[in-house]
A and B are shown apart, each in its own frame.
Chain A
Amino acid sequence: MDLLETKSINAFYGNSQVLFNMSLNIKKNNIIALLGRNGAGKSSTFKAITGLINVKSGSIKLKGEELIKQPTSKRALAGIGYVPEDRQVFPEHTVEENIELGKKNNLQGIDNWPIDKIWETFPILVKLKDRLAGQLSGGEQQMLSIARTLVGNPEILLLDEPSEGLAPIIVEDIAKILENLKKLGVTILLAEQNMHFCMEVAKEAIIIDKGKAVWTGSLNDLQQDTKTRDKYLAI
């Protein structure tokens, strides 16, 4: 059984449809890249899975459990972890308070991410503990946003463009953290435009275009397949 299974999702922003029969299957302990041009529907896919936009039909199953009727908070408790593209840290809470706000055990009541493990995984945040999140740099906010979601022990991490707007050297740091998370067995669905960044951390990819999954395969194959790349990813 796949960890996350979405079938034929049709999702809307107000009256305009953004996802058309979107189907995805994500296996456990894996990092999958979700590729697509700007506006292809990557963020909308995440928002549909978390319940932040209106899904009119389809199915979203996590470990076989149907979530489509559940509100956002219940989906998070079920194990959907969401790191939004603009990080959305709470700017007037300290780093430590931000992490505290995300703290929860998984559905089995187990805490795989005690706070010490968070500091170990994100050493950069240790000395920023008492700093207001709004005062952090973009890269630091990105790390905080990931840490805040991890501390809630999600089954899967939906990571929306973590490299966006960051300096290359910071992007390297984020890539190292994702490598580390992969070793720890965290399942990540990684939405990206930066294919080079994806190559470093993921092996498989799904391409979405115009609100639909159009290609699934290995990133190595995609690297060779200029036709597909040109069709769906070239700007």
Chain B
Amino acid sequence: MEIFALFDCIISPACLISQTAGGLKIGMLLFLVASGLTLVFGVLGVINFAHGALYMLGAYFSWQVMAVTGHFGLAVICGAIGVGIFGLLFERLLINKVYNADLLVQILLCYSVILILDDLVMIIWGDEFLSGIGVPEVFQIPPLFIFDAIIPPFHIAIVVISMIVALLLWLIMTKTKFGKLVRATAVNPKMLEALGVNTNVIKAGVFMLGSFLAGLGGALAASLGSVVSGMGNSIIIESFIVTVIGGMGSIGGAFIASIIIGMARSFGAVAMPLFTDGIMFLIMVLVLIMKPEGLMGKKK
């Protein structure tokens, strides 16, 4: 363990700022994906293991739109919306059949969808790594130097976009009629039905929103790295860790936990480069021991 390296980093403004910025970028991208996962769990009670596959689809969809139009913004938006629509079909045709089913049945269904999608993208786009959609032209400029820390402007843009999405999500959930209906569905769907609300529509809407977020995360990730079948498998594990640390179903909790995990990865890479994944699990274990319901979860 390179504990001195971590100490050196913390006292050096350049290292501190660049690792913090890196941590924020990782954390906020993770938040986009994890918020969708926790939203779906909180309202529908389903652990959507296929959420990572939806993230992968977002990357492929945006890659395809980029290949055809060459427009970055359009590629990201179409990637996210495309996955949202795919999620709606997935919910209507499959997931809604297992809402009250055994957890094992839910996992089996999601796992089979992961396998099908992983193979399907290979059939359509091939099994090679596709180089991502790249950074849009406006951000192809020299990096910013803040106290000698090198910060690519596009990373700042990603953090800002994710923060705006987080804010919009909060506004939707607290201020709109849809958000109020979603929160009520999470608490007592039967009572809501008795008041004349068709909760199937709400559930489908929530799943669509969750899928949209996964797709958006995947599309943005496609700008930072390559696109490949199975790329959702690591993000789903990280998203679960975020969901557990933040509290299952809590979007605010997912926000905090995403930043914690982002920072742990970023500073962990300095302190314990061979154990960065381990740090995430360690934090999760600590939270589970001290606050089993998660940082912002509700006690059952």
Contact = CB atoms under 8 A, between A and B. Distances in A.
A9 interface: no
A102 interface: yes
A72 interface: yes
Interface in B153-194: 177, 180-181, 183-184, 187-188, 190-194
B196 interface: yes
Q: Could you say which interface size class chain A belongs to?
A: 20 to 34
A166 B25 CA distance: 54
Interface string A97-108: 100111010000
Contacts of B187: 90-92
Given A92-B183, A93-B180, A73 B198 contact: yes
Contact of A100 (B177, B192, B193): B177
B131 to A, nearest CB: 46
A30 B284 CA distance: 59
A101 B194 contact: no
B153 to A, nearest CB: 40
A73 B191 contact: no
Contacts of A148: 195
B180 A73 contact: no
Interface residues of B, number: 17
Interface in A140-156: 148-149, 152
A50 interface: yes
Given A52-B190, A88-B191, A92-B187, A100 B180 contact: yes
Given A50-B194, A93-B183, A100-B180, 10 more contacts: A73-B197, A76-B194, A76-B195, A88-B188, A90-B187, A90-B191, A91-B187, A92-B187, A93-B180, A101-B180
7 contacts: A76-B193, A77-B196, A84-B194, A90-B184, A93-B180, A101-B181, A101-B195
